[in-house]
Amino acid sequence: MEKQELISKKELLELMGISYGQLYRWKRKQLIPEDWFIRKSTFTGQESFFPRELIVPRIEKILQMKDDLSLDELAEKLTPFTTDVVMPKSDLPKRNIVSQETMEHYTGGDSDTTLYTFEQLLFLRAVDRLLIQGEVTVDEGRLVLKTLQEQAVQFEGGRCEIVLFRKMGVSLCLLVAEGSAWAVDGGTRAMVRLPLALCMEDLLRRL
């Protein structure tokens, strides 16, 4: 069964060297999304857990930036879908948003003056990551891009994970809610599991 790695609040505080006060403050300021707090009853009482690969980079970023920005400014920077961002195609390579290859494969048909919204940049960034990491083929990248364009809107705030399955040479793309668990038949392999939130952070850093 594929399950996202969770880290308990206690472990997190220790790992990142932060306090309860800080964590609750950041929750109040919405620097950490509400749905990242997963509550479970363990034999030691009520405990909170977080998706490890989401919370650790987020806290690293907060610790990194909190001395330069107020918490409110920081919250604004981390808000998903900064929808008023629009960029012409010609700016993409300059700003290092996506690699040249990705642009050639997926935006070849667009003119240099085509404007891309944050959402479109986000999807391109996600596919770029997958290609760079060598985890998907160009065709699979196209499938992922199409799936994102058609289905990502169903997830509030874009909180979903991209999963690519392969079985007997056929690829299948799935978008699931963050932190979901699944099970598949033995002949199916999950090649990729990428939370869109990570791509969002990535993209925000480049903007």
Instruction: Output the smallest distance, CB 67 to another protein, in A.
Output: 18
Instruction: Output the smallest distance, CB 8 to another protein, in A.
Output: 11
| Total binding residues toward another protein, as defined by CB under 8 A | 13
In the bound state with another protein, the residue whose beta carbon lies nearer, of 42 and 113, is: 42
Instruction: Output the smallest distance, CB 55 to another protein, in A.
Output: 16
The values of phi and psi at residue 131, to 5°, are -70, -45
In the bound state with another protein, the residue whose beta carbon lies nearer, of 25 and 89, is: 25
Site residues (CB under 8 A) for another protein, limited to 7-66: 10, 14, 19-21, 23-25, 27-28, 44-46
In the bound state with another protein, the residue whose beta carbon lies nearer, of 45 and 134, is: 45
Instruction: Output the smallest distance, CB 204 to another protein, in A.
Output: 24
CA dihedral sign of residues 1, 141, 173, 39? positive
CA distances from 163 to 122, 145, 179 (A): 16, 12, 12
Confirm if 178 and 161 have CB atoms less than 8 A apart: yes
In the bound state with another protein, the residue whose beta carbon lies nearer, of 19 and 154, is: 19
Instruction: Output the smallest distance, CB 47 to another protein, in A.
Output: 8
Instruction: Output the smallest distance, CB 65 to another protein, in A.
Output: 19
Structure tokens at 51: 């998706």
In the bound state with another protein, the residue whose beta carbon lies nearer, of 19 and 83, is: 19
In the bound state with another protein, the residue whose beta carbon lies nearer, of 46 and 113, is: 46
What is the binding site for another protein (CB under 8 A)?
10, 14, 19-21, 23-25, 27-28, 44-46
